[in-house]
Amino acid sequence: MKLVYTILIVLSTIITGKGQSFSISDLIKMSNLDKNSFDSFATNNGFVFIQNVNTEYISRVEYEIYYTPTDKTNVKKYLHFHTKYYSPYKRSIFYTTKDKNEYLRIKNEIKQLGFKLFEPNKNFQNSQYFRKDLGNFEIVITTRDVYYEINLHVNE
């Protein structure tokens, strides 16, 4: 019986661990989804729906992953899908993680994909701002406290 429980725990870890780490390519693919497809994608990757937010300038849906399903106060990762975000952005994906290694991997991937680091302006004082010259994507990386936030914006 212990063997059965051990196998179930291992399988559960593999299944819930699957897909919780994204690449920039994944974020770009997500930015092309409609709201319903994004919901399916987020749910299939272990994220839990939290809320819809709609204002004059922003329309987004929010998802989270917790360290343990029973502790809703200890958030491991956030995933926000904006279908409306301040002009000139058409869509945005906000992905936030506490995993420093994941942050460093994504930052390295950004550089390998040809995104260039720009000096931050007053809007990005606590951020590193990357932009790809030949595309319509902008990436902003913000580090604060124990979180690393990777924002992918699609220009109009």
Q: For all residues of the chain together, what is the average pLDDT?
A: 77
pLDDT digit string, tens, across residues 51-108: 999 999 889 999 998 766 666 667 788 999 998 887 778 889 999 998 889 888 988 8
Structural element, H or E, at residue 79: strand 75-84
- Total domain count, the chain: 1
What is the Cα–Cα distance from 97 to 150, expressed in whole angstroms?
8
Structural element, H or E, at residue 135: none
Instruction: Print the domain residue range for 127.
Output: 2-155
Which of 6-10, 17-21, 141-145 is the least confident region? 6-10
Please classify residue 17 by burial: count the beta carbons closer than 10 Å to its beta carbon, then call 0-12 exposed, 13-18 middle and 19+ buried: exposed
What type of residue sits at position 151? N
- pTM for the predicted model, two decimal places: 0.75
CA angle 17, 127, 146 (to 5 degrees): 45
